[in-house]
Amino acid sequence: MTAVQRGHIVVTDAHAHTGTKEETRERIRDGIMTMICAGEPEDAKRLDEILKWPGAIQALIPAAGLHPWNSGKASVEDMMPFMEKYPVIGEIGMDTLWCDVPVKVQREAFERQLAFAMEQKKPAVLHTKAQEKEIARILRDYPNRYLVHWYSCSRFLDEYLEQDCYVSIGPDVVWNPAVQEAARRVPKNRILAETDGLGAVEWALKEGEKMGIKNTLPSAAPVRPVGASLEQTIKCSAGLRGMDPADLAIRIRENMIRFLSNGIASS
């Protein structure tokens, strides 16, 4: 039974990780189109096994790339077998907020993967924490189709929008002003929604509670937490844009399909 049949809006998860078996089963059971990113070799092996589950290939889009957090303990070569066979590269990028790998090491791995993605004409998913300005500059040397996942910086958004990047809105849109600004300003043909996995959703909810923001996830969340989180993100984003949530949900699904395709729409 799909999410549509159960009476919920159509939800699409533009960025997640392998996560728990329970959340993966929900994605498959409810037909939630989900991009699953593997950021290091063991994670990619787990994703390979998940893709063998019944119904997995109908719901899950695999992506692989050396995550900046892992660039000090694994190599691009280690990830290459997965990057060669998966349709999306990522998530890749640079991070000087939550990562202590030397930025020179991160940059070398990042640019090698950007070059590979460009040469192979594969879209790429970007991780940009505290390196938003520099990554936007680097991208100009590697023209391609990019998804900036969970953009939460209060600056430099225009530098990505000028390069036709897609941007996914994270679960903290209910309280984070920078994410709310992205939800308002990203063009309707390039906005997406994501969970980043249920661990990230839990983090976002706890951070919101610290700020006095009540957990507003629907009561159905205990049995369908992925779908409920995405619905909340879409409804909040729709309110910020003055849109009907169901219409935005359909637009997000269309944008996801286009991001994965060979062409970029102009409207």
What is the count of structural domains for the chain? Answer: 1
pLDDT, average across residues 166-192: 97
Residue type, 245: P
**Strand partners for 148:** 126, 167
Q: Is the pLDDT of residue 89 over 90?
A: yes
pLDDT at 218: 63
Mean pLDDT of the chain: 92
Within-domain flag for 18:
yes
Within-domain flag for 3:
no
Percent pLDDT > 70 in the chain is 93
Q: Tell me if residue 238 falls in helix, strand or coil.
A: helix
Distance spanning both ends of the chain, measured CA to CA: 33
Within-domain flag for 7:
no
pLDDT at 60: 98
**Alpha-carbon gap, residue 241 to 239, rounded angstroms:** 5
pLDDT at 263: 39
Q: Element (H or E) spanning 124, and its range?
A: strand 124-127
pLDDT at 111: 98
Contact 245, 251 (CB under 8 A): no
Q: 266 pLDDT band (50/70/90 cuts)?
A: very low
- In tens, the pLDDT along 8-46 reads 799 999 999 999 999 999 999 999 999 999 999 999 999
pLDDT at 230: 96
Q: Which range of residues forms the domain containing residue 177?
A: 12-256
pLDDT, average across residues 141-156: 96
pLDDT at 207: 87
Within-domain flag for 264:
no
Tokens of 116: 């590979």
What is the reported pTM? 0.93
Within-domain flag for 261:
no
Q: Is the pLDDT of residue 126 over 80?
A: yes
Within-domain flag for 122:
yes
Q: Is the pLDDT of residue 94 over 60?
A: yes
Within-domain flag for 5:
no
Residue bearing tokens 């990042």: 110
The better pLDDT of the pair 262, 159 is held by: 159
In angstroms, the Cα distances linking 184 to 107, 176, 242 are: 31, 12, 9
CATH of the domain at 97: 3.20.20.140
The better pLDDT of the pair 222, 249 is held by: 249
Where is average pLDDT lowest: 1-5, 50-54, 63-67? 1-5
Percent pLDDT > 90 in the chain is 86
Residue bearing tokens 């030397």: 102
Q: 7 pLDDT band (50/70/90 cuts)?
A: low
Q: Is the pLDDT of residue 93 over 90?
A: yes
Buried residues in 21-55 as b, exposed as e (16+ CB within 10 A): eebbebbbbbbbbbbbbbbbbebbebbbebeeeee
> Nearest to residue 266, comparing CAs of 192, 188, 169?
188
Within-domain flag for 235:
yes
Q: Is the pLDDT of residue 79 over 70?
A: yes
Q: Element (H or E) spanning 111, and its range?
A: helix 103-120
pLDDT at 221: 64
The better pLDDT of the pair 222, 174 is held by: 174
